[in-house]
Amino acid sequence: MSEQQDKNQSEADRIAAEKALRHKARQQKVKQAVDARVAEATEERGVLMVITGDGKGKSTAGFGTVARAVGHGQKAAVVQFIKGNWECGERNLLEGAGVPFAVMATGFTWETQDKAADTAAALATWEQAEQFLADENTDLVLLDELTYMVSYHYLPLERVVEALNSRPLHQHVIITGRNCHRELVELADTVSEVGCVKHAFNSGIKAQPGFDY
């Protein structure tokens, strides 16, 4: 190596070492900030979560959390307020793992178009939800597609709020569905909105078992 090449190499090494030091200092700052926030989050209690929005992934995320809880040996329960005409893969799996399901007997509400029957079915299903929400031994309740029941007045908001507020302190609840009522969003501790960037259905790809239900 010539003297000039040597000089260039040591200059490059010096710049790289400086960069590494700056990176380390930045990361230390980030770590300090994260550690401080972790130290501040000391409260342990049940979380009310809403997963809403027009994109695909709301129920999937709810069921993912049920699987997570079951994996920790916790007790979870699922209430499905709108059930299509297809089998539910998660139900097939989770009932086998001891997760109780309460499923609204009617199909899609916009298919039945019978308000009185739908309201009665919603109320009957909500009564089962209330039992889970009152059970000290239930760690997580998934209220799948509950938002529609409230938005379309099949269930009185006050009754839903009352059961959510009276639940055991440690119990987590997940509500899924589009158009979540503002008051439920306000009541929740965590709210995630799944946005639709694209959906395969709009390019003519049909709903498929194992991926969509």
**Angle, CA 32 vertex, CA 31 and CA 36 arms, to 5°:** 115
The CB-side HSE value for 6 (13 A sphere, CA atoms) comes to: 3
How far lies 184's CA from each of 6, 51, 175, 190, in Å?
A: 67, 11, 9, 11
CB-wise, 101 or 135, nearer to Mg ion? 101
Q: Which two tokens stand for residue 135?
A: 């059970």
Nearest to 160 by CA among 185, 140, 191: 185
Report the C-alpha gap between 171 and 137 in whole angstroms.
Answer: 9
CB-wise, 157 or 213, nearer to ligand ATP? 213
Site for ligand ATP in 79-138 (CB under 6 A): none
Per CB under 6 A, does 167 bind ligand ATP? no
Coil, helix or strand for 100? coil
Query: Residue 28 Cβ, how far from Mg ion at the closest point, in Å?
Result: 42
Per CB under 6 A, does 207 bind ligand ATP? yes
Query: Residue 116 Cβ, how far from ligand ATP at the closest point, in Å?
Result: 24
CB-wise, 38 or 197, nearer to ligand ATP? 197
Per CB under 6 A, does 212 bind ligand ATP? yes
Per CB under 6 A, does 205 bind ligand ATP? no
Binding site for ligand ATP (CB under 6 A): 54-60, 145, 176, 178, 194, 196, 199, 201, 207, 212-213
